[in-house]
Amino acid sequence: MRDYYAILGVSRNATPDEIKKAYRRLARELHPDVNPDAESQEKFKEVTQAYEVLSDPKKKEMFDLGADPFAPGGGAGGFGGGFGAGFPFSDLMDAVFGQAGTRGPRSRARRGRNATLRVELDLAETAFGTTRELTIDTATVCKVCSGSGAEAGTHPEQCDMCHGRGEIQQVQRSFLGQVMTSRPCPQCGGYGSVIRTPCRECSGEGRVRTQRTIKVKIPAGVEHGTHIQLAGEGEVGPGGGPAGDLFLEIVERQHAIFEREGDDLHCTVQIPMTAAALGSTVTVETLDGAEEVDIRPGTQSGQVIPLYGRGARHLNMSGRGDLMIHVNVETPTKLDPEQEDLLKQLSVLRDEERPPGKFAPGQQGFFSRLRDAFHT
């Protein structure tokens, strides 16, 4: 006796839902329309016969008690005689062709595509926000036909081939008998209606290409690469369908003074050696205007002076980043005799005629690094 559970690949305590899922999966794989070879057809018969038994409570009970409903005298009338009276034929149709009645005519109106527009901004505009008027080339609803695609005074008519259903049905003969299949109507393309007189303005598409101008508010704190989504500002879809979204890609122009890292700004100020040694006050440009910055006596080259709250605004948050001023001390390369003499006197006073030289921690010579490499 054949094991119908093994044929479907389920356990003996499988639920009706698990049995149905297993059958639908196998039916889709083995159906003659997918695999027309003789071996697949034979397996398809076995799978269908197994499901007919296990999906019928009475036949399943008979099989579980040790009797094969399809055996001679089993009372089920073998497979060759057609499906048993209790066989759920709709399950076969759902497994192979999908659930009936779910297609129908499809709408001409479809959602439009999304669009991306690059917007170039200066650093001040990205840091503090701005408002821009943007002209975009896009698709809008045809004003002549209001998106219907039909010439003014006409309208789409019901398709005389599918009678508005959007699909046509065909009956095919197979070893199962007569099987009905459905496919989109070739005359109307599945819409259920045809446009006899297309709109001359949009050629029946329901939309036209044009330019329009929109005003956009750029929030403070955006930076290079930020994307801003404007819902419903993209292209109108075919048939006057809803518009897609417009994405603004921010491109930040390079600034002449500042470099940006997140919401912080960085710049470099050059000061003479004497100003670094004696201290001074320098005027520094910021996004808020010129400000005076104190240079403390003894300032070294590479030292960073922060100006808190002078950077870009935080996106969607309160507060601002900082402005980091990197100090670069200039050493004079050309001295006149008087200047050279004064520096020599200073070096004598500071006992620096022969400076000993000092190495910063971690800065080793070549031989020291080579020695450490062999000891690791």
In 3-state terms, what secondary structure has residue 360?
Answer: coil
Looking at residue 16, its amino acid is P
Q: How many residues does the chain have?
A: 376
Q: Cα(47)–Cα(26) distance, rounded to whole angstroms? A: 7
Q: How many CB atoms within 10 Å of residue 364? A: 12
Q: Cα(165)–Cα(108) distance, rounded to whole angstroms? A: 14
Q: What is the DSSP string of 106-153?
A: PPS--PPPPEEEEEEE-HHHHHH-EEEEEEEEEEEE-TTTTTS-BPTT
Q: Cα(46)–Cα(8) distance, rounded to whole angstroms? A: 9
**Residue 185 annotated as binding?**
yes
**Residue 159 annotated as binding?**
yes
Q: Cα(5)–Cα(19) distance, rounded to whole angstroms? A: 9
Q: Cα(221)–Cα(216) distance, rounded to whole angstroms? A: 15
In 3-state terms, what secondary structure has residue 214?
Answer: strand
Helices (H), the chain: 4-8, 16-30, 38-54, 57-64, 89-97, 123-128, 273-278, 337-349, 366-375
Q: How many CB atoms within 10 Å of residue 298? A: 10
**Residue 267 annotated as binding?**
no
Q: What is the DSSP string of 236-288?
A: PBGGGBPP--EEEEEEEPPPSS-EEETTEEEEEEEEEHHHHHH-EEEEEEETT
Residue set of the binding site for Zn(2+): 142, 145, 159, 162, 185, 188, 199, 202
Residue set of the binding site: 142, 145, 159, 162, 185, 188, 199, 202
